[in-house]
């Protein structure tokens, strides 16, 4: 199964309305996605109100009786939220109906506040996206709390993929591959998805484990 838990729409800085993002994801061969637009306290509730509507409609179309059992989940990517406020932001997102909560990690390509990774990994989140030069201590915390750390397809955020893969291998932390899609050209098919993992130095067996991680998270949510 190919599943992407980190994708953006016009609800933040993406180019597509949710319906088109979903259609293009199905066409690319994905089995499920989460719509995780950038969010903070100003828009968490508003975004999820709209995203939940389209998820309910689409999941009603593509159920088990149909050939295409595609699933889409409502979510958020908490972005540049100060570490001291991440706990409250996660709580609000869950109360507002987020099935997938991603926190925008300490990527090498943006000035994310130091301490974001460690603060996020203590909370009820699903994925720490593009965590940059994540430490072994942080990765062990992710493992302990069942949080996946992301290998990113997106330009800039992908710079630390090799480091992240190595830290995950050393600590046993779980990995997820995501596109961080903002435009149609960002949507991954199987070739691109596999390329992210293999390009980060993973083995075919490790790549298969990531796909199992994603399938398990989709089923859980």
Question: Residue 69 has what pLDDT?
Answer: 80
**59 — pLDDT class (breaks 50, 70, 90):** confident
Beta strand 3-7 with 71-78: parallel, antiparallel or unpaired? unpaired
Is pLDDT at 181 greater than 80 in this prediction? yes
What gap in Å lies between CA 53 and CA 176, rounded to an integer? 26
pLDDT surpassing 70 at residue 68? no
Residues 6+ apart with CB under 8 A from 13: 38, 182
Give yes or no for residue 159 having a pLDDT over 80. yes
**Average pLDDT taken over every residue of the chain:** 96
DSSP run (H or E) holding 195: helix 190-199
85-129 pLDDT, tens digit each: 999 999 999 999 999 999 999 999 999 999 999 999 999 999 999
pLDDT tens-digit profile of 11-21? Answer: 999 999 999 99
The pLDDT-based confidence of 60 (bands split at 50, 70, 90) is: confident
Cα separation, 198 vs 206, in Å, equals 9
Q: How many CB atoms lie within 10 A of CB 197?
A: 22
Looking at per-residue confidence, does 100 or 66 come out higher?
100
Farthest CA pair distance, the chain: 47
User: Is 146's pLDDT higher than 70?
Assistant: yes
Residue 81 has a pLDDT of 98
User: In this structure, are residues 109 and 156 in contact, taking their beta carbons and an 8 Å threshold?
Assistant: yes
SS3 content of the chain, % helix, strand, coil (to 5): 45, 20, 35
- pLDDT of residue 65 exceeding 70: no
Average pLDDT estimate for 172-191? 98
Between CA 33 and CA 42 the distance in angstroms is 24
pLDDT range class, residue 163, cuts 50, 70, 90: very high
Q: What is the CATH number of domain 3-220?
A: 3.20.20.140
- DSSP string for 138-173: HHHHHHHTT-EEEEE-STTGGGGHHHHHHHHHHHT-
Q: Where are the domains of the chain?
A: 3-220
The residues with which 100 forms a beta bridge, in sequence order, are 75
């Amino acid at each position: 199964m190919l599943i992407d838990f980190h994708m953006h729409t016009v609800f933040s800085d993406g180019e597509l309305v949710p319906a088109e993002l979903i259609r293009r994801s199905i066409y690319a061969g994905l089995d499920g996605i989460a719509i995780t637009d950038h969010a903070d306290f100003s828009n968490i509730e508003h975004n999820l109100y709209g995203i939940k509507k389209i998820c309910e409609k689409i999941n009603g179309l593509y159920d088990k009786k149909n050939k295409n059992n595609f699933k889409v989940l409502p979510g958020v990517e908490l972005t540049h939220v100060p570490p001291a406020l991440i706990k409250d932001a996660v709580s609000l997102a869950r109360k507002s109906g987020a099935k997938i909560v991603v926190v925008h990690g300490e990527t090498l390509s943006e000035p994310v506040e130091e301490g974001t990774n460690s603060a996020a990994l203590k909370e009820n989140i699903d994925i720490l996206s593009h965590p940059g030069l994540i430490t072994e201590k942080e990765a062990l915390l992710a493992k302990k709390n069942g949080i996946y750390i992301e290998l990113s397809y997106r330009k800039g955020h992908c710079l630390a993929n090799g480091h992240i893969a190595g830290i995950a291998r050393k600590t046993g932390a779980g990995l997820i591959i995501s596109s961080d899609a903002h435009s149609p050209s960002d949507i991954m098919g199987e070739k691109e998805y596999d390329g992210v993992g293999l390009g980060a130095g993973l083995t075919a067996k490790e790549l298969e484990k990531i796909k199992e991680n994603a399938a398990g998270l989709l089923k859980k949510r």
